[in-house]
Amino acid sequence: MKRIGLLGCGAMGTQIALAIDSGQIPATLTHVFDESKEKSALLVEKLTNKPEIVENSHLLSSNPVDIVVEAASQDAVMDVSLSVLQNKKDLMIMSVGALLDESIYDILSDACKDFKKTIYLPSGAIAGLDGIKSVKNELESLSITTTKHPRSLKGAKFFETSDINLDEINSSTVIFEGTAKEAVSLFPANINVAALLSLTGVGSEKTGVKIVADPNTEKNTHHIVAEGKFGKMTFTIENYPDENNPKTSRLAILSAIETLKKYCLNDIQIGT
Binding residues: 125, 192
Binding residue ranges for NAD(+)? 125, 192
Q: Supply the residues annotated as catalytic.
A: 222
Other beta carbons within 10 Å of 96? 25
